[in-house]
Structure 1
Amino acid sequence: MVLLSKLSDGWDNDDVRIRPSRSSRPRTKTRPTHEDAAAGFVVTVDRGRYTCLVGSTSAARIVMAMRAKELGRRAVAVGDRVAIVGDITGATDTLARIVRIEKRTSVLRRSADDDTETVEKVLVANADQLVIVVAAADPLPRTGFIDRCLVAAYTGDLQPVLVVTKTDLADPQALLDLYADLELPVLVSKRKDSADASQGAILNDRLVEEVRELLNEKESVLVGHSGVGKSTLVNALVPHAYRAIGVVSGVGKGRHTSTSAIALALPDGGWVIDTPGVRSFGLAHVTPDDLLRTFDDLNEASVDCPPNCDHQGLPCALDAAVQAGAADRRRLASFRRLLSSRSGAASDESAPDQGAAPDQGAAPDQGAAPDQGAAPDQGAAPEQGAAPEHPTDPGTSAG
């Protein structure tokens, strides 16, 4: 009730008692700690619903969850270790809540497609490696795409790996020479049988085994354009990969085809994370200094750079370091090429002349075509519905 006192000269506002509004009421700072929350591992994300694995290796189960309000604006990504409360039985029509995101060890992220918006999106968390799959020919490798992937890997604390397929069609040496100074792990392969190329025999058994050994007990993200053999590789590593995890819409009802990243358990331990829906790698959120910090030798020489140096040319101190022999000229050239790809200045051009197969030489001029990043590999459409055949303990598979 409002009480008013009338004075001789009118109403006195000091005598008005106002009931507190909802916004001005004292709020408790006590928040639930959720100490009884279950540990979960996010395997895919779709329209505000998160498919998580909960439980040990021998008893992992799929739990559908949503974000709790206490997360605020923090985004949940594939690969996240999370704390889950509510109904975690995994039964149909149940929905748990993600109340906490554990500390991340690495982040693969990108900006908006037009490269002008610095708002970034986290694609995958806690991965150890970024496996970049390209073909020596058919389609020609695009160095702009490779460079952008390398920038995303280096600045996100992932180890980049280059896998080159179809080397029976063209010599990949010119492509590999571009990245020799970065000391990348590289795997190359001819097709199993060139005569079977039309039937999809893109990979041979040796490459599959080498990749399997490289991915063992690690979490690895695979990216690549359509036609390079990425989906073929995923299906070779994880037989019936897209039947290994059921992605359901709503609250446990219905099927749909997801274009988001999906984590698939490797039979011998570890995870392979396929990214069929990543069409671009905008890197507007990456600053020159972010990338420079990943080049230890150049970073030391940059202490003499002028303020706000863009490291693209004089008066950058990196040029003086090269002249003095304190830094390698080829490493500086590689750094600046990656830096140009970050800003979109480098065209999404094909690799240099391969020189082996006819008509597989220098790529046609791509002009100002934008770098489209990792186009979805259409080779294997997800077939949803079944639970994982080889679940891995979310608590022990972290990189």
Structure 2
Amino acid sequence: MSTLFEPFTLRSLTIANRLWMAPMCQYSADSEGPDEGAANDWHFAHYAARAAGGTGLILTEATAVSPEGRISPYDLGIWNDRQVAALRRITTFLKGQGTVPGIQLAHAGRKASTDATWHGGAPLDAENGGWRTVAPSALPFDEGHPAPDELGVDQIQEIVAQFADAARRALEAGFQVVEVHGAHGYLIGQFLSPHTNHRTDEYGGSYENRTRFALEVVDAVRAVWPQELPVLFRISATDWLTENEEDEREGWTADDTVHFAADLLAHGVDLLDTSTGGNAPRARIVAGPGYQVPFAERVKRETGLPVGAVGLITEARQAEKIISDGQADVVLLGRELLRDPSFALHAARELGGEVHTPKQYHRSV
């Protein structure tokens, strides 16, 4: 039996295999009107195809907990009940294919209010559908980006409550897994890193203060999420600034991630979805096949927290080896699942595993 296609259990939930779909923004929701931020036919077809292709668990794209938390005006949201109904259509279909539906809850912070990537991803002003952004400190993301407003403590607590409300709605929408997005330089990651967090109050400065907001969000989500269902956390394991002279303040490091993983485990997180980067636009990153896997492996080895590995995992045997060598508990594919929605089915054939195949496709088996 292929280790990639062995079931994996978190709390009371058993996922059919260890080949999962990573969150990838589609920038395809309505940007205004009654269906603002709601999933539509594109999202249904997109996620349904990967479920029919045998993917064990699918995480939605970053789904904003508030309108201001969107990366772009075209992001999915989960701040109202109309959005819940649209998402329920997707989760019902995924479950029918044996795929576990998961949702990534997100707030973009200073990286919000930008255009779709295929339009260049530049910051949007109010005349073009943009809005004021917020962050732990009033530091722009890059040249040509506006400085965000520094969040007050009351505003921070309001966002914590928005994550909790979003988790409640996610449960109503039929999701079985919720992931808190703390990676890629979005709001939670901005608080974690000394590169972007220059505060001097209880939410800045020391490691304990910089991780406070993230843990408050986790606690708020865990408090409303059923105890029998898992909570995941996505992290950028490093800002890739350790030896970078871009800023006199060193960024978030792999050592920080190991420390924080132990904290997350103590706060009820069940798996760390381990990525890197995104917080500093000119960080020097040497990418290659599986280049982020060692960060996941270290967390697993040193803390015992289950981990997911991501990053240029494009071949079935590569994914199999990551699992069989104990480097990670699951792999999450991104671009490769865009290229091949039935990657799991094809990998199962290659490795001698089994995946759910829709009865309508029985002639393909």
- Identify the TM-score tier after normalising by the shorter chain: under 0.3
Compare CA radii of gyration and give the structure with the larger one.
1
